[in-house]
């Protein structure tokens, strides 16, 4: 029996890791084979929609928590299969993020919070104190200003949802979605938060602006290339940023606003489609794909911050080996892991609207106008609200 599995992958290495997980399923259950199909992340959810419209859904569906509300009706609730798939050993926030309207639609692969990555060398050169737990928005603003100069900026703006929305959340508690799942992108708090966020570039002149609406990874790329001293990014890039940057990377929690440091928590996982004809076998496959051996393998390769607590030491070991064994490098890993754990412990699971994929696309199209100053934050957010609610 062959089960089709759809997942995103950014290159040959990630595809190889996924094939290793598929092989684990066949090893555990020789009667089950996995036919893995991958697509780039930016195309994955569009492809999933197209397949659903054509009645060609894969049996095993990979899902991101932000986009779950838009795909829940196409997926099989796992609550009846939960004993077969197993949920023991997961971080509670990881399973919670993949639930919608009280039902579980996927079992978690990873768990991620947002943190501030910073260039330790740039901070030292400028004589700016490094950010620590408890630092505030005002400290962040001051650091960004002090680190701007000689063609470089202190911070990089982003219109990716988790990145900019986390900064809005910590700034004044702004939330883009109502408790009943409706968009409120033009809410006064959202307008106030994005006026501040865009103002880091237009008023304070201390933040770089994406070159175009297609530069979804602008902030991360500019940081790793040394063009900005700070960037907000997910914990999923902890290993790659430390490995790729030509400078010493520091990790700090999101700066605290009036209600403390706030971050959204999101993750990815695996579920099954309603149309899957082999649900019992799919449940067995899910138990392996998200099981201890699979989690340990991904953690050892630095692919994810694992959702299973038992596999998390392997991820820390990977970071330590990648970053070096000298005392300063060891401290970077220790502080990075602390920022990760603190963010996950106090993070707020992000639940999007049913059309969140569309909303995220609108962010890149219209927030750029606010970031460049050609439109106000209120005008940009009003446009996004009208188009997302229409």
List the chain domain ranges.
Answer: 2-111+267-320, 112-264+329-389
Instruction: Give tens-digit pLDDT for 261-275.
Output: 999 988 999 999 999
What are residue 98's phi and psi, to 5 degrees? Answer: -105, 25
Round the CA-based radius of gyration of the chain to a whole number and report it. Answer: 21
pTM of the model as a whole: 0.86
The Cα–Cα gap between 122 and 144 comes to 11
Look at the chain and count its residues: 390
In the chain, which residues have pLDDT < 50? none
- Show the CA angle centred on residue 60, arms to residues 32 and 9, nearest 5°: 105
Half-sphere exposure of 357 (CA within 13 A, CB side): 17
Contact of 38 with 8, CB cutoff 8 Å = yes
Nearest-CA neighbor of 123 among 142, 143, 137? Answer: 143
pLDDT at 84: 53
Contacts of 2 (CB under 8 A, 6+ apart): 32, 33, 34, 35
212: number of Cβ within 10 Å: 10
- Beta partners for 231? 117
Instruction: Give tens-digit pLDDT for 150-194.
Output: 999 999 999 889 999 999 999 999 999 998 889 999 999 999 999
Per CATH, is 2-111+267-320 categorized as 3.40.50.11310?
no
Contact of 167 with 254, CB cutoff 8 Å = yes
315-to-54, 89, 320, 330, 350 alpha-carbon distances in Å: 40, 16, 9, 14, 24
pLDDT at 244: 86
50: number of Cβ within 10 Å: 11
Please state which CATH class domain 112-264+329-389 belongs to: alpha beta
SS3 sequence of the chain = CEEEEEEECCCHHHHHHHHHHHHHHHHHCCCCEEEEEEECHHHHHHHHHHHHHCCCCCCEEEEEHHHHHHHHHHECCCHHHHHHHCCCCECHHHHHCCEECCEECCEECECEEEEEEEEHHHHHHHCCCCCCCCCEHHHHHHHHHHCCECCEECEECCCCHHHHHHHHHHHHCCCCECCCCCECCCCHHHHHHHHHHHHHHHCCCCEECCCCCCCCCHHHHHHHCCCECEEEEEHHHHHHHHHHCCCCEEEECCCEECCECCCEEECEEEEEECCCCCHHHHHHHHHHHCCHHHHHHHHHCCCCCECEHHHHHHHHHHHHHHHCCCHHHHHHHHHHHHHHHHHHHHCEECCCCCCHHHHHHHHHHHHHHHHHCCCCHHHHHHHHHHHHHC
Burial degree of 304 (CB within 10 A; 0-12, 13-18, 19+):
buried
């Amino acid at each position: 029996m062959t089960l089709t599995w759809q997942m995103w992958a950014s290159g040959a290495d990630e595809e190889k890791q996924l094939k290793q997980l598929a092989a684990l399923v066949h090893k555990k259950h020789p009667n089950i084979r996995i036919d893995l199909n991958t697509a780039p992340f930016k195309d994955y959810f569009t492809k999933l929609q197209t397949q659903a419209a054509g009645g060609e859904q894969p049996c095993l569906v990979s899902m991101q928590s932000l986009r779950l509300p838009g795909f829940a009706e196409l997926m099989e609730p796992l609550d009846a299969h939960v004993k077969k798939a197993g949920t023991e050993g997961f971080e509670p926030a990881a399973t919670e993020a993949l639930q919608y309207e009280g039902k579980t639609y996927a079992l978690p692969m990873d768990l991620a919070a947002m943190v501030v990555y910073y260039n330790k060398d740039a901070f030292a050169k400028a004589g700016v104190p490094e950010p620590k737990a408890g630092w505030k928005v005002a400290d962040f603003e001051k650091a960004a200003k002090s680190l701007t100069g000689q063609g470089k900026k202190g911070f990089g703006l982003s219109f990716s949802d988790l990145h900019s929305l986390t900064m809005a959340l910590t700034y004044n508690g702004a939330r883009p979605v109502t408790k009943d799942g409706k968009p409120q992108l033009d809410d006064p708090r959202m307008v106030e938060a994005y006026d501040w966020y865009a103002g880091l570039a237009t008023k304070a002149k201390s933040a770089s602006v994406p070159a175009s609406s297609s530069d979804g990874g602008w902030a991360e790329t500019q940081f790793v290339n040394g063009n900005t001293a700070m960037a907000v990014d997910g914990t999923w890039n902890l290993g790659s940023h430390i490995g790729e940057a030509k400078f010493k990377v520091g990790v700090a929690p999101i700066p605290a606003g009036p209600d403390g440091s706030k971050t959204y928590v999101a993750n990815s996982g695996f579920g099954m489609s309603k149309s899957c004809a082999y649900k019992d076998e799919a449940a067995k496959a899910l138990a392996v794909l998200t099981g201890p051996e699979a989690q340990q393998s991904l953690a050892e390769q630095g692919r994810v911050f694992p959702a299973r607590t038992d596999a998390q030491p392997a991820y820390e070991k990977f970071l330590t080996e990648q970053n070096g064994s000298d005392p300063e490098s060891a401290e970077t890993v220790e502080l990075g892991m602390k920022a990760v754990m603190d963010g996950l412990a106090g993070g707020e699971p992000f639940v999007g609207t049913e059309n969140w994929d569309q909303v995220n696309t609108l962010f890149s199209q219209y927030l750029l106008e606010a970031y460049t100053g050609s439109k106000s934050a209120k005008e940009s957010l009003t446009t996004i609200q009208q188009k997302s609610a229409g």
